[in-house]
Structures are given as C-alpha cells and as structure tokens.
Amino acid sequence: MRKKVVDGVSWVGKIDWEIRTAHGKEYSTHKGTSYNAYLIEDEKTALVDTVWEPYADEFVANLQLEIDLDKIDYIICNHAEPDHSGALPALMKLIPDTPIYCTKQATMSLPGHYHQDWNFRPVSAGDTLSLGKNTLTFQPIPMVHWPDSMMTHLSGKNILFSNDAFGQHYAHELLFNDLADQCTLYEEAIKYFANILTPFSPIIKNRIVDFLATALPVELIATSHGILWRKNPEQIIEQYLQWCDAYQEDQITIIYDSMYNSTKVIAETIARGILQHSPATQVKLFHAAKADKNDILTEVFRSKAVLMGSPTFNKGPLSSLSALLEEFRGLKFMGKKASAFTSYGWSGEAAKEMLAQLVDAGFTTTDEGFRVHWRMDTDERAKALQFGVDFASATF
Ligand code: FEO
C-alpha cells in the first residue's frame, strides 16, 4: 500500500516491525525498522530505491497494485547495500531494460551482489535528470555509508532522498517526524549515527558541507530507514554536524564485567567518587555481558570519558570487554578520555591490557589504571573512591 509523501511522491517501501537485529546480528533494532522506497510520478515516473531481499516479492507485488511496472521510466539506486537494492533482481526480471541511475561505484557493487548486467547509467555530482515539471539532481556521498552511496534531490517538491544519511531503525506507520515519538526518534537517530556512521565522521561533515554548498532547497528529507524529516528538516542536518565533530556530553560511562562481584563493587565505588567531584555529571554503569552492545556504544558516543573494568582472566580482560574494545577500535571515537580497572588474584594484567587497547582505539588515557588484589578492604575502598575523584578531575 502506498503512502502519500506529497502530491506526486509516494512511499512504497516496507515497514519491518519484526526485525530485532540488522547487519546480520551486529546491530540491535529494538524498535524495528523500515526500508523506504519512493515512487515519483511526474511526466516521467521514477522509483527511488527498493527494499531488503526477504521482502522483494512482496515489494514487487505491492508495486504492481499501484502502477503498471512498464510505466516506470527510471530507477534510482542511491546505495547498493542489500537492504535497499535487495528487490532489484525480482523487479528487473519484469522490466529488464529500465535504466538504473546510480554512482559509478554502484555500477561495480550492484553486479558484485547480483551478477546482472543491468542498464546502468552512472552519475556524478550535480548531474540532473528531468522528470517533466521537476528535476532530479544527484549528489554522491561516498562513505555515507558505502563508497557507492548517493543522495538525490527532487526540485519543485524540494525533497532530499538521503538514503542511509539521517535515518534511524524505527518502525512507524505514520512516516513523518512530527507524528513520531520525539524521544524514540532522537534515541534511534543517535544510535544509528554512533554505531554505523561514527568512523566516517570527518567525511560526513565534508559531504554535508558539499551538499549545503549546492544551495538546493530542502523542505523534506526522505530517508531510507525510519522517519522522514518533514517538520524542520534542518534539525537533523544541524544535529549531524554536531555529531560529526568529536561529539560529547557531560557524561562518564563505566563498563564492567564481574565474576564474583569484586569488579562490580569497584565500578560502583568509582562512580561515587566521580559524583563526589562532579555532582552534575551523568554517570552510567553497564555490565558488558548483560547490556545491549549497541546501546553501550551509543552511551560511549555520548560520553566525554569511559572507564573499563574487568577481572583479570587468562592474563587479560573478560571477552565481553575485549569485544567492546574491538568495536571501539573500528568506530574511531574522537576526543574521549579513558582509564581501566581490574580485580585480580595472581597477576592483574587486565587493566594494562585494556589501557593499551584504549590508546590503540584513539582514547586518551588519564592514568595507569586501578588494580585491586582480591576484594577491596576499607583502605582500598577509599582508594577506589579517590580514583573516581581523580578521574573526574582529569576529564573536567
Ligand atoms: Fe541501510 Fe548502508 O544500508
């Protein structure tokens, strides 16, 4: 069933209320998601993007209820990742000669996925395609999110089809930001940026600046996931510019795992020390093996500093901490401070190991970490409290 975006532009995608992980099992989607595709009906008709492969047949069947497929003059493929291009094979079986407008990189990645020699029309920045009254202008945005990504602007309606940029994994039947829960929308937008786009932050900033330099007017941002930004669409552009710029709030996140609660008690004592020094700082604690990985990474993105705590186990941290440290390395957070702590019985290398990995991931460490032999006694509780005070002071 189509949903009206504006006169002449319809949403024809799929809202996926069931999905609970995306990118395989890598990204938790507590609120579902959507694969947004659009039909633009002018003197010519263009289809912008499709849906994820499991919904390909449903997508094509629904599209046939809305339009004679032979009337689709152009297909715009803004990004070859299968969550957007996955219905192309089913669709192109029925309209094999329809031209597909995409970036030069997508003319390689699409055949890489589907091994089909479709009628590709590679486009460059500023290239246009007239639909009759209104015109499409293409703006490649490599690395937002893949090298083949681009945005497409529709004149007259002033709609920016932004693909992954400005999206969120948020299933919602009413499409538009003014009809969505604002807290959920913000939480899913920042989670999406933190977990998917953070490594490309400097590039994204340049791509946004490049687009703003085109002076193309934008009255609506039609994303490929989640909510469309209809009310004050500039808000998400301004938000992205902030998130791109070594974003942080007055927050310290403590991430720990614990075998017999010793490390947990250290974490909670350090938290009290931080609050003793900085009563207004948001201090949040997460058990690395119990909390959702992507939610933790979102909190790290928000933080000015991070503390990692683990028992020493096989001369290093527990695997839950190691997995997160590997995520830190890939995500390339910027401008954040860090330290580590451990409870140990014999050798106590976990803090040193985690500090080295934090430095490798681009964090600035504030000290040599904090180590407790077995469980804390009264003196060590005082030292842990002071460690929290000193860490808060170092991050001020
Ligand atoms: Fe939603 Fe990069 O695909």
Read off the pLDDT of residues 227-243 as tens digits, 9 standing for 90 and up: 999 999 999 999 999 99
Q: What is the per-residue pLDDT for 159?
A: 98
pLDDT beyond 90 at 287: yes
What percent of the chain has pLDDT above 70?
100
What confidence tier does 248 reach under pLDDT thresholds 50, 70, 90? very high
126 CA from centroid of ligand 1 (Å): 22
Nearest CA to ligand 1 atom 1: 164
Q: What is the per-residue pLDDT for 234?
A: 97
> Which class would CATH give 3-243?
alpha beta
| Of 138, 227, 224, the residue nearest 184 (C-alpha) | 227
Helix (H) or strand (E) holding 204: helix 201-213
Average confidence score pLDDT of the chain:
98
335 CA from centroid of ligand 1 (Å): 27
For residue 167, which atom of ligand 1 is closest to its CA?
1
pLDDT beyond 90 at 192: yes
Residues of the chain with CATH 3.60.15.10: 3-243
Nearest CA to ligand 1 atom 3: 81
- Average pLDDT rounded to a whole number, residues 363-381: 97
pLDDT beyond 90 at 113: yes
Read off the pLDDT of residues 26-84 as tens digits, 9 standing for 90 and up: 999 999 999 999 999 999 999 999 999 999 999 999 999 999 999 999 999 999 999 99
**Residue 81 catalytic?**
yes
Helix (H) or strand (E) holding 331: helix 319-331
- Average pLDDT rounded to a whole number, residues 343-369: 97
Q: What is the CATH superfamily name and number for domain 252-395?
A: Flavodoxin domain (3.40.50.360)
Catalytic residue among 73, 83, 148, 353: 83
Residues of the chain with CATH 3.40.50.360: 252-395
Q: Determine the distance from the C-alpha atom of residue 7 to the mean position of all C-alpha atoms in its chain, rounded to a whole number.
A: 30
pLDDT beyond 90 at 336: yes
pLDDT beyond 90 at 296: yes
Rg (CA), the chain: 24
Is the model's pTM score more than 0.85? yes
**Residue 30 catalytic?**
no
Q: What is the per-residue pLDDT for 122?
A: 98
Q: What is the per-residue pLDDT for 358?
A: 98
| Cα–Cα dist 317/293, whole Å | 17
- Average pLDDT rounded to a whole number, residues 158-166: 98
Q: What is the per-residue pLDDT for 396?
A: 87
- Average pLDDT rounded to a whole number, residues 103-131: 98
**Residue 113 catalytic?**
no
State whether the beta carbon of 257 lies less than 6 angstroms from ligand 1. no
What confidence tier does 1 reach under pLDDT thresholds 50, 70, 90? confident
pLDDT beyond 90 at 322: yes
26 CA from centroid of ligand 1 (Å): 13
Q: Give the sheet arrangement for strand 74-76, strand by strand.
A: 3-6, 9-11, 38-41, 45-48, 74-76, 100-103, 120-123
For residue 164, which atom of ligand 1 is closest to its CA?
1
**Residue 23 catalytic?**
yes
- Average pLDDT rounded to a whole number, residues 175-197: 98
